[in-house]
Each structure stands twice: as structure tokens, then as C-alpha cells.
């Protein structure tokens, strides 16, 4: 498989701003922190080896900065999630504004309709008022007519008028003429009274209709005004809600930028410290070379082509630092180291503790020490406390030369990735050997 520089992956993953890329940052940082914790708990210092020196200052700084970088990456992800959550609220607020605007338009139309109705009512009121004036004038004329007739009747003698006419008449024909005139006056007076009564009743009805028109017009106007006010209030509230969401989005965008900037600063610090750590590891490897410790570079035959690739990668990592919390590169725990070496050779077995590597029959088959070949895994049971299971295998390395007993391992904080011998000294009692089959 193509080889990947973990520092380049981490650096590239730390830069993007979108959520999918932030997830890549968290994933890459997890390879140094959270994931490595589960991977490297079996990678403690072998039990009876000489006591390791305390972790150097640079190791502590790298570990601390790695944790800070992971936290910064998660902070960017949280800020990005918060921004997306706020952005989801914006369309809802905009829809409310649109709906409120439609309500305002409808209310404005209702006001126009009410104003038109009021104008029509006012015109009807004016017409009614003219009719009222006409009826009032008619009543006034009838009053004058009735007054005149009443005066004539009074002057003529009232209810004894017919008797008086009879007594004063010189002949029957004269009496008939005078009596007919008196009766016509009486009939005219009654007709005028009837007309006046009818006119007064009509006036009363028209006044009632006039009041009803005025009340209806005022009610329509009041309802339209109230509707327009409610619509305007809703529109104002919707605009304020939208502005509030936009303000939150703006603040969260700033939070994303600030979190990303902080992550970039921490990432730069981490890369600088990591480079310093590797420089120190190289110097330590040079000192080890002066003591005759490094491997000569000749891998004996016997292993598969894939196993040889795994061994070559493992040897290329000699001098890299060990981290007590585990790791899969560029700093390693013992099981993360064996896993990474074989993954560089194309294997796809999952990252597991040393105990699980030794007992997994799907990925690793047991072989005897006599059958051991370059690339095989070699296990120890040091009871060093890195695996909480009773009597668990807790350390693993990779066989380089089974004839001489040479193997390569991520040893401990003091030694880092080194070569050693499993046929003598501290490592002379391995618990098992295993061959990677997938």
C-alpha cells in the first residue's frame, strides 16, 4: 500500500474549515491520542528491564501539545456544528418574515377595502341626510298647510259651522255650496295630517338607517386598523427574529474562525516540537550506533515478500520515540508499532492490544520458535500492568533474524524504537510467536 507520512496527514487535516475536513482533523489527532490509548496500553516497559529514565521534557511537551491539538480540533468541530445549527434556523426566520410580509399586504388591502366601504357609507349617509332634509322640509310644509286649515276652521266656527251655515243661508242652493266648501276644507286638513304622520315615520326610519350606516362604517374601519396593526407587529417581530438569527450566525462564524486559528497555532507548535523530538531521537540513534547496537541491514531469507516489507519499515523507524499512551506513528506503543509496520506492507488486520494480536486466529496464526521467520510477531508476558486482564500478553515485537534472535520493538520511553535480542538477557523468555496471515 502507498505509505503515508502521519505528520503530513495531520498537518493537511488541521487546515480545512468545513465540517467534513474538521472530522478529518479529529480523526488524525485521535491517531495520536484517543485511538492510541486503546492501541498502546500493552506497550509499557518490560517488567524486569532496568528502570526507565523519566520522560524527557520534549516528550511531555509533545504529548501535552498533542492533547491540546485534539481539543482544538474538537473545538473547531463544535463551533462548526453550532454554526450549522444556527444556519438551519435562518430559513425558518426568513419564511416567517415572508409570511408576515404577506400578512401586511393582506392587512393593507383590508384597510383599503374598509376605507372604500367607509367612503361608500359616507356617501350613503350624505344621500340619506339629503332625504332627511327633504322629508323635514315636507313636514314643515305640511305643518304650514295644517295650520292654515286649522285657522280657517277656527274662524269658520268649529263644530257648529254646518248649523251656522244653515241658519245664515238665504236659500237651499247657497247652503249646499257653502257646506260643500267646508267639508272639502275638513278633508284637506285630515289628508295633510296623514301625510305629515307618514313623513314623520319615514324620517324616523331614515335616521335609524343613517345611524346604522355610520356604525357599520366605523366598525369596519376599526377592524381594518386593528388588523393592520397586528400584521405590522408580526412583521416587525419576524424581522427582529431574523436579525437575531443573523447575529448568532455572525458570532458563530467568528467562533469558528477563532477556533480554527487557535488550532493552526497549536498545530504549528506541535509540528515544531515533533521535529525537535525526532531530532533528539536521531541523535540518540547515533549514540546507539557508536555502541554497536543498530541492525546491520541484512534481512535473512525465510519470510514472505510482505513480511520483508514490514521488517524494512519497522527497521526504518528505529530511533523514533515511544509514548506511554500508545501510538501508531511517528511515536509508537509496542502494539501500534507492529500494527503500523504490517499495514505499511499491505495488511488490513485491525489495531489490537498485544494479547488480542497473539490470540486472534483470523489475522495471526501461532508458530513455534523453531518456525519463526522474519516479519513474525513475538510476544511476552511481563505482567507490566498495561493490560488489565489476568496473565495477559502485554508486549510485542517483530522478528528480524530468527537465527541470531534479533527483533525490533517499541520498547519504552527511555529507549524508543530499538533492535534487541530475544535469545539472551531480558527478552530471552518469549511467550509466543505468531505469523500474520492477512
Q: What is the pLDDT of residues 248-259, one digit of tens each?
A: 999 999 999 999
Give the rounded percent of residues in the chain with a pLDDT score beyond 90: 27
Class of domain 89-257: mainly alpha
- H or E element, residue 31: helix 19-32
**Residue 46: pLDDT band by 50, 70, 90 thresholds?**
very low
- Phi first, then psi, for residue 321 (nearest 5°) are -85, 155
Nearest to 338 by CA among 300, 299, 310, 296: 310
| Residues 86-144 pLDDT 10s | 888 889 888 988 998 898 898 888 888 888 887 887 888 788 788 878 877 877 887 78
- What is the pLDDT at residue 12? 37
pTM for this prediction? 0.39
| Residues 1-21 pLDDT 10s | 333 343 333 333 333 344 444
> Edge-to-edge strands of the sheet including 395-401?
364-367, 432-436, 377-380, 395-401, 406-412, 416-421
**How many beta carbons lie within 10 A of that of residue 309, not counting itself?**
19
Is a pLDDT exceeding 80 seen at residue 32?
no
- What is the pLDDT at residue 64? 87
SS3 content of the chain, % helix, strand, coil (to 5): 65, 10, 25
**Residue 38: pLDDT band by 50, 70, 90 thresholds?**
very low
Task: Return the higher-pLDDT residue of 57 and 150.
Answer: 57
**Residue 22: pLDDT band by 50, 70, 90 thresholds?**
very low
HSE (side-chain half, CA atoms, 13 Å) at 323: 32
Q: Which one of 3.90.1300.10, 3.40.50.720, 3.90.1720.10, 3.30.70.360 gives the CATH number of domain 6-53+293-436?
A: 3.90.1720.10
| Residues 352-371 pLDDT 10s | 888 888 888 889 999 999 99
- What is the pLDDT at residue 368? 94
Q: Delimit the domains of the chain by residue range.
A: 6-53+293-436, 89-257
- What is the pLDDT at residue 10? 33
For 323, residues 6+ apart whose C-beta sits below 8 A from its C-beta are 36, 40, 59, 62, 63, 331, 332, 333, 413
Amino acid at each position: 500500500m502507498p505509505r503515508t507520512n502521519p505528520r503530513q496527514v495531520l498537518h493537511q487535516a488541521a487546515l480545512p474549515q468545513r465540517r467534513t475536513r474538521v472530522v478529518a482533523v479529529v480523526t488524525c489527532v485521535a491517531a495520536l491520542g484517543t485511538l492510541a490509548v486503546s492501541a498502546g496500553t500493552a506497550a509499557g516497559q518490560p517488567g524486569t528491564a532496568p528502570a526507565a529514565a523519566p520522560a524527557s521534557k520534549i516528550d511531555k511537551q509533545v504529548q501535552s501539545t498533542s492533547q491540546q491539538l485534539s481539543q482544538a480540533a474538537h473545538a473547531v468541530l463544535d463551533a462548526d456544528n453550532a454554526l450549522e445549527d444556527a444556519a438551519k434556523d435562518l430559513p425558518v426566520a426568513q419564511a416567517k418574515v415572508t409570511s408576515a410580509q404577506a400578512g401586511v399586504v393582506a392587512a393593507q388591502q383590508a384597510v383599503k377595502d374598509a376605507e372604500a366601504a367607509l367612503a361608500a357609507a359616507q356617501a350613503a349617509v350624505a344621500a340619506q341626510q339629503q332625504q332627511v332634509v327633504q322629508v323635514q322640509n315636507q313636514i314643515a310644509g305640511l305643518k304650514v298647510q295644517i295650520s292654515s286649515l286649522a285657522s280657517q276652521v277656527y274662524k269658520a266656527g268649529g263644530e257648529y259651522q254646518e248649523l251656522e251655515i244653515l241658519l245664515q243661508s238665504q236659500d237651499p242652493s247657497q247652503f249646499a255650496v257653502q257646506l260643500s266648501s267646508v267639508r272639502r276644507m275638513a278633508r284637506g286638513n285630515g289628508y295633510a295630517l296623514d301625510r305629515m304622520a307618514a313623513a314623520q315615520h319615514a324620517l324616523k326610519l331614515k335616521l335609524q338607517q343613517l345611524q346604522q350606516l355610520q356604525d357599520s362604517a366605523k366598525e369596519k374601519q376599526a377592524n381594518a386598523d386593528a388588523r393592520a396593526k397586528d400584521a405590522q407587529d408580526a412583521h416587525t417581530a419576524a424581522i427582529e427574529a431574523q436579525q437575531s438569527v443573523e447575529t448568532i450566525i455572525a458570532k458563530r462564524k467568528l467562533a469558528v474562525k477563532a477556533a480554527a486559528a487557535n488550532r493552526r497555532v497549536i498545530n504549528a507548535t506541535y509540528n515544531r516540537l515533533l521535529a525537535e523530538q525526532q531530532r533528539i531521537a536521531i541523535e540518540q540513534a547515533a549514540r546507539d550506533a557508536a555502541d554497536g547496537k543498530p541492525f546491520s541491514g541484512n534481512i535473512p531469507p525465510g519470510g514472505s515478500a510482505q513480511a520483508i516489507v514490514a521488517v524494512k519499515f519497522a527497521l526504518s523507524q528505529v530511533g523514533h520515540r515511544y509514548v506511554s499512551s500508545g501510538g501508531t506513528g511517528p511515536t509508537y506503543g509496542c502494539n501500534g508499532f507492529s500494527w503500523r509496520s504490517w499495514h505499511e506492507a499491505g495488511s488490513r488486520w485491525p489495531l489490537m492490544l498485544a494479547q488480542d494480536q497473539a490470540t486472534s486466529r483470523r489475522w495471526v496464526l501461532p508458530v513455534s520458535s523453531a518456525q519463526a521467520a522474519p516479519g513474525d510477531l513475538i510476544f511476552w508476558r511481563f505482567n507490566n500492568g498495561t493490560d488489565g486482564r489476568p496473565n495477559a500478553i502485554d508486549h510485542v515485537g517483530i522478528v528480524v533474524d530468527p537465527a541470531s534472535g534479533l527483533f525490533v520493538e517499541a520498547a519504552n520511553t527511555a529507549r524508543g524504537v530499538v533492535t534487541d535480542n530475544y535469545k539472551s538477557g531480558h527478552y530471552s523468555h518469549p511467550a509466543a510467536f505468531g505469523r500474520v496471515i492477512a
